[in-house]
Amino acid sequence: MPASPLATFDSSAETLDAWAAHDGVPLLATVARALCVLDHTTGLDAFCLPYPPVVQLALDRAVVAWLRGGLRPPASLAELVQRCADIPLEDWPLSLPSDAVGPDDVLLDPYSHRPTQLCHEWSEWERSAPDPAVRHRDQQVMRTALDRCRSHGEEDAYTEFRSLLVRRPVLTAQELFALHGDFTLEPVWELIDLIYPEVSLSWSRDGCYAVCGRCGTLLTPLAGGEWWCERDRCRRQGDPPVGRLIEAAHAGTVYQLERPLRRHVTGPGLAEVELEDRLTGLGLDVTMWPGFDSYDLLVAFPDGHRWAVDVKDWAHPAFLGRAARPVRPEPPYDEAFWVVPVYRVRERPGYQQAFQRARPAAAAAVRLLTDDELIRAARQRLAESRRGTRADSQEGTDA
């Protein structure tokens, strides 16, 4: 097996304290949170006074930062929002650590003026800090699902629940009703009703909702008849294909999984099931979310060797590094890896090195590969195993 994809980079000392020493870090986090609050409440194209406290704080801090940099500050909240779409973060007058921003990083998508995935990650900057008091909606929901399925002794219920969130983030009223006839999901029926809220007509055009043909989430209608997908990966592959059109008049109410769960469960889950397909295509045995989601994939080779794989689809490598934790030991395995989609590494040079620099000392053994590197390593291990089997067979024949 080649050493390079599996090698552990040396961890250097870009610590949490080093990030905290840069005043641009909390400012970016505050602006990102403000954008997410506005997107969730009034939208980013309409503002009214008084602004929510975090929004006013973001505007005040941004004005001070531009003045300190000797530049004209944003004259209004609307102008700050526009700058978040037009000006790459590396051109903001901020003191930032070397790994903080990439050359094309922006907080708002320039076409839709919706927060980018990077914006959501910046808004949750405290999320990856080692503070157990910081709780987040997606974590609370998944913990509740785990507890309910465990109390019923139903691991299959949790696996099916997780698969539902990944493969079906959009449901019609009839589809949601039908889930209540699936008794495998009985432990989480009430939870499903809570996390699939009704969507507004703002998601529709001409009485129809459009579902992305790549990721399954609802598309946002744009001016000119175009559609926009919230998933980074979809946008980088070109215009989103419409997988299905849901006519509001016929479907009745349409429901979509909550945004925190779409980002932290559906998004990486799509990468997980794609990796599952590629590994099973090699003839390997793959178990998804084993041991009540101890990790994402348990990969078993014909000779009994086992890999544990956790898939992470994060835009910012330093945030991912700060969140690094050793893979849980059960179910047992021989090697463990964290895996990131290769497109993340291609669009941000030095991604894996930035991850290694930011990870805590307790996670020094965590190895980060791209999905392509993991597949190459699996192919090579299979080839070596088969050569060994043939050699053993030949020795037996000679004897």
pLDDT at 20 over 90: no
Output the pLDDT for position 52.
86
Is residue 35 within 8 Å of 82, Cβ to Cβ?
A: no
Query: In 113-234, at which residue ranges do the beta strands (DSSP E only) sit?
Result: 170-172, 204-205, 208-212, 220-221, 227-228
Output the pLDDT for position 252.
85
Is residue 264 within 8 Å of 121, Cβ to Cβ?
A: no
Output the pLDDT for position 100.
86
The residues facing 212 across adjacent strands are: 242
Output the pLDDT for position 263.
84
Which one of 238-252, 256-270, 361-375 scores highest in mean pLDDT? 361-375
Is residue 276 within 8 Å of 371, Cβ to Cβ?
A: no
Q: What is the phi/psi pair of residue 257, to 5°?
A: -55, 145
pLDDT in tens, 149-189: 999 988 999 999 999 999 999 999 999 999 999 999 999 99
Question: Dihedral of CA 195/200/201/203: which sign?
Answer: negative
Output the pLDDT for position 320.
93
* C-alpha to C-alpha distance for 154 and 159, rounded to whole angstroms: 9
- Please indicate whether residue 164 or residue 43 has the higher confidence score (pLDDT): 164
Output the pLDDT for position 394.
58
Percentage of residues of the chain with pLDDT beyond 70: 88
Output the pLDDT for position 102.
85
- Please indicate whether residue 386 or residue 74 has the higher confidence score (pLDDT): 74
What is this structure's pTM?
0.81
Q: Which of 120-134, 192-206, 208-222, 295-309 has the lowest mean pLDDT?
A: 120-134
Tokens of 307: 């890999």
Question: What confidence category does residue 97 fall into, taking pLDDT thresholds of 50, 70 and 90?
Answer: confident
pLDDT at 46 over 80: no
Is residue 377 within 8 Å of 6, Cβ to Cβ?
A: yes
pLDDT in tens, 111-143: 888 899 899 889 887 554 433 333 478 889 999
Mean pLDDT within 273-291 = 96
Question: What confidence category does residue 95 fall into, taking pLDDT thresholds of 50, 70 and 90?
Answer: confident
Question: What confidence category does residue 22 fall into, taking pLDDT thresholds of 50, 70 and 90?
Answer: low
Output the pLDDT for position 270.
93
Mean pLDDT within 262-279 = 93
Mean pLDDT within 328-340 = 96
Average pLDDT of the chain, as a whole number: 87
